[in-house]
Structure 1
Amino acid sequence: MLELANRFMFEGHRIAWGSLGEGPPLVLVHGTPFSSQVWRRIAPWLARRHRVFFYDLLGYGQSDMPDADVSLGRQNGLFGAMLDEWKISRPRVLAHDYGGATVLRAHFLDGIAYADLTLVNPVAIAPQGSPFVRHVAQHEAAFTGLPAYAHHALVTAYLGNAVARPLSDDALSIYRAPWLTPDGQAAFYRQIAQMRQRYIEEAEARYAPPDFPVRIVWGEDDAWIPLEQGQALADRIANGQLIRVPRAGHLVQEDAPEAIVAAVLDGSGQG
């Protein structure tokens, strides 16, 4: 498990973060419905050559889960505030899923520059959202009020759909635990209900090849986001180059963590 021993106050809310290693800064940003623990098998390898920073998004993991805005429209502001807190500029960045959307918004909307960017199955092309996500968004209150056993089963099934191979009991427990408290149950459906297409479209309208290297890693068996969206993003910001990972689902960190380590350490010539 990664240790998030530090707390940063962002607009009145506590954000949990940690770091490992020494060297050039490398920032890891997780997606939904996960936490920074998606990097627990990856960060120690990257920390051999970098100072690796990781944090839990607002509304996730060990960070506060307020009854407030935890949408993509707020997360890029948090990302920029974390960089200021760490006193780093133009870091290397590795981001997954909604973390990918967050750092793309931070660059294309807020002007934050990176040394290089590695994206893993990012949410970046409209339309977004599975039928499950769309249904929850329309019935948030009903899902928030589910009996604990039903919520437990739903979260378990949802997480299981993120991988091409069954999650280990330990991994499932790690990802599921933050959502199983009363506050966590409300937070789980809150973050889904706050998913808005416009947050993707705002950044997508500005996509163009940036002035730093971009690598996009894609689990070919992603059941949440079609491979075609990965290729469409690569065509717009990565000169068409897409690193396809066979026998890996949306959560490549579990199915093929070595593919991510290789992309980061070998892809830019800085590794």
Structure 2
Amino acid sequence: MTAKLFPGFTQVRVTVGGITINAVRGGVGPPVLMLHGYPQTHVMWHRVAPGLASRHTVVCADLRGYGDSDKPDSDPGHQPYAKRVMARDQVELMRALGFDRFAVVGHDRGARVARRMALDHPDTVGRLAVLDIVPTATVYGTLDQVHATTVWRYFFLVQPPDLPERLIGADPSYYLTHTLREWCATPDRLAADAVAEYRRCFDPATIRATCEDYRAGASVDLDHDASDADHRIACPTLVLWSATGLGAAYDVLPTWRQQADNVRGKALDCGHFLAEERPEEVTAQLLAFLAADEDT
């Protein structure tokens, strides 16, 4: 299935820090790491990665806990799913592939990992693109009834084990379909083959691991953010977001200008899944952004 969705790409599996990370790699040129969001896998980039591969070496990876990457056990502090740990996985993956410095593009949960990577590894990340998020601390710090209703997973998935795991596990296919349709302005734009991959990978181990991802986001990740609140993202940063989704809830670009020194961005007319709903526009935006510094 992955080979069909990523023609010309090859699968790679690399052991880093005692776990195996799954990815696909294709193209030639300056390296770009692409990280997916919830509840998806690296497959979400299937309409964007081939276009980038015309100029770049593109690596689309599954985060730990997702897709065909390993799903290690967690602990009471959720440390194994801290974005700092998940970012380290991906830095080590790229080093194992021969890339010490690269651009990183992240969507949703992957964008949170990418943000942490840019903060923790400024000599490694040459450029950063984040799709359809504001920082987690902003989400929790600006809540009202409307926001709380729309970001209910930030409260549901963080409940103690294994309440959300059991509730989702009672009908995982329904929950997955509901999530994709809730967040997508044009559900018919989601490729059937891609959705089949998301469904294949949304098993009990993934459900458990992804809850831990959110639990970490509500605990240890916030601690890490608070401890380095005075640190700023130094590399050039591109922000893309959904005009009627995230853009209706947050003042996106000014929010990111509080985090990073060099930020540009644009709202797209689509739902949460920018790379699948507006792949041509996302590809064009990324190519232009990455071309400005192709020695990364």
Same-fold call, TM cutoff 0.5: yes
Map 1:51-130 onto structure 2 (within 5 A).
51-68=57-74, 69-128=80-139, 130=151
Question: How has the CA–CA distance of structure 1 residues 200 and 29 changed in structure 2, closer, same or farther, with 3 Å as cutoff?
Answer: farther
Using the TM superposition, give the Cα deviation of residue 224 of structure 1 relative to its aligned residue in structure 2, in angstroms.
10
Residues 136 and 147 (structure 1), Cα distance of their counterparts in 2 relative to 1, 3 Å cut: closer
Q: What's the secondary structure of 2:104's corresponding residue? A: strand
Q: CA RMSD in A?
A: 2.7
* Contact 1:121-1:217 within 8 A present in 2 as well: yes
Query: Structure 1 residues 87, 225: CA separation in 2 closer, same or farther (over 3 Å shift)?
Result: farther
Residue number in structure 2 paired with 1:159: 180
Q: Report the 3-state secondary structure (helix = DSSP H, G, I; strand = E; otherwise coil) of the residue aligned with 1:84.
A: helix
Structure 1 unaligned segments of length 5 or more: list them: none
Among 215, 221, 225, the residue aligned to 1:193: 215
Aligned-partner Cα distance in 2 for 1:21–1:61: 22
How do 1:140-151 and structure 2 match up within 5 A? 140-146=161-167, 148=169, 150-151=171-172
For the 8 Å contact 1:28–1:95, the answer to whether it is kept is yes
**Separation in structure 1 between the aligned mates of residue 195 and residue 246 of structure 2, nearest angstrom:** 18
- The residue type paired with residue 241 of structure 2 is W
Name stretches of at least 5 consecutive residues in structure 2 with no aligned partner. Answer: 75-79, 141-150
Number of residue pairs the alignment of both structures matches: 268
For residues 117 and 176 of structure 2, the distance between their equivalents in structure 1, rounded to whole angstroms, comes to: 29
Q: Does 2:249 match 1:243?
A: no
Give the letter for the 2:67 counterpart: G
- For normalisation by structure 1, the TM-score amounts to 0.86
Letter in structure 1 aligned against 2:177: T
Q: Indicate the SS of the match to 2:58.
A: strand
Displacement, 1:242?
2.4
Partner of 2:288: 266
Cα distance in 1 for partners of 2:248, 2:67 equals 23
Q: 1:4 to 1:57 in 2, by over 3 A?
A: farther
Shift of 1:206: 3.7
Is residue 121–residue 230 contact of structure 1 (8 Å, CA) maintained in 2? no
Query: Is the CA contact (8 Å cut-off) linking 1:76 and 1:105 kept in structure 2?
Result: yes
Summarize the Cα distance change of 1:4–1:146 in structure 2 as closer, same or farther, 3 Å threshold. Answer: farther
Amino acid at match of 1:134: F
